[in-house]
Amino acid sequence: MSRSSSTTVPRPPVRPKDGHKGTFGTVIVVGGCADGTSLMLGAPALSARAALRVGAGLAKLIVPREIALAALTLCPSATAATLTTRSSADYRQAFASVNLPEANAVVFGPGMGRSPATLAALKVLLAAPRSRPLGVVIDADGIHALAAMLGARVPRAGSRAGRRRPLVISPHAHIILTPHVGEFRALAAAIRPEIADALPSRRPIAVADARRSAVALQAALADLGMPCIVLLKGAATIVAGPDRVNIVSRPNPALATAGTGDVLAGAIAGLLAQSFARPDEPTRTTALAQDMAGLAAHAHADAARRWCDTAGASAGLLAMELADLLPSALEGVRRR
């Protein structure tokens, strides 16, 4: 299918003056780990902070008990459900405690680590029943878990087994994948190695090459029963959906630092939560999900530019500072 490209900046969600925190949606962030010598707590906190900074009404963390207090210290406006075993049953209980059926968006993967627990949690999330739109942003270690899940469903050369039945994904789940180039290659190699092989190894990657690869991966995932939007991060960010491609080409080396991807994932979820919380929007959820992903990428880039202008520097940006500049970046779009 031919897909048109656009650099137009989508419009931010409407902010009614009589709204309350329930009006602007709930974001759940599933992430973090405390396994042996590995301790990661900043990533889920950054995603939650970014979701609130773009206007989401509520943010709830699902994190291991050992890191919950520290994560909430970084994002005190959020609440948390804690995990003890990180088993499938543990995640089911956590999803019940944060009332997943009533949430509007989820960020899955920041700082989770590449362990069987991450894969178990992803399976529970994707299988959870829904009756209304839910934005699902799969990022970081969540993408590696998805690669393992989908790779097991693809027959390999010489195998006598035919293609397995496609995944059954709820039509109410609107999935956005946010890989950087390395994560993109891992996912593509698991399901369509030729897509990974066709992506040039040079950096930076040309916009045309990135666009072509993102479109190919989006189509391959749809063939496997997982229709989604692929947001390939880079100097030019490509947002590939089923019918069109958005391109955000605003390269900034200040963004090449830890945590900025977690901020982008949270910003996407926060914008999705506001959009999906509106009762008049469910008829155009796929287009809306792609619009909010593109808007988040634009605001993310503009927030970095604002920091550079204020600091008079091209390096040294901290992810928390980036998240805190998102409100002014979005307001700049509104005023246009």
Domain boundaries, the chain: 22-151+166-334
Flag whether the pTM goes above 0.75: yes
Around Cβ 257, how many Cβ atoms within 10 Å? 15
SS3 303: helix
Amino acid at position 333, single letter = V
42, 53, 156, 209, 285 from 296: Cα distances, Å? 20, 11, 37, 22, 16
Residue 56 backbone dihedrals phi, psi, to 5 degrees: -65, 150
**143: closest CA among 105, 173, 180?**
180
Around Cβ 316, how many Cβ atoms within 10 Å? 11
To the nearest 10°, report the CA torsion of 299, 286, 191, 143: 40
Amino acid at position 237, single letter = T
SS3 218: helix
- The sheet carrying 173-177 orders its strands as 4-6, 244-249, 236-240, 228-232, 173-177, 134-138, 105-108, 26-30, 58-64, 79-83
SS3 220: helix
What pLDDT tens digit does each residue of the chain (336 aa) get?
568 887 888 899 989 999 999 999 999 999 999 987 789 999 999 999 999 999 999 999 999 999 999 999 999 999 999 999 999 999 999 999 999 999 999 999 999 999 999 999 999 999 888 888 999 999 999 999 999 999 887 766 555 444 555 566 777 889 999 999 999 999 999 999 999 999 988 778 999 999 999 999 999 999 988 999 999 999 999 999 999 999 999 999 999 999 999 999 999 999 999 999 987 665 668 899 999 999 999 999 999 999 999 999 999 999 999 999 999 999 999 888
Asked whether the beta carbons of 253 and 13 are under 8 A apart, the reply is no
SS3 263: helix
Structure tokens given for 44:
């889920």
> What distance separates the 2 farthest-apart alpha carbons in the chain?
62
CATH class of the domain whose range is 22-151+166-334: alpha beta
Residues 321 and 300: their CA atoms lie apart, in Å, by 11
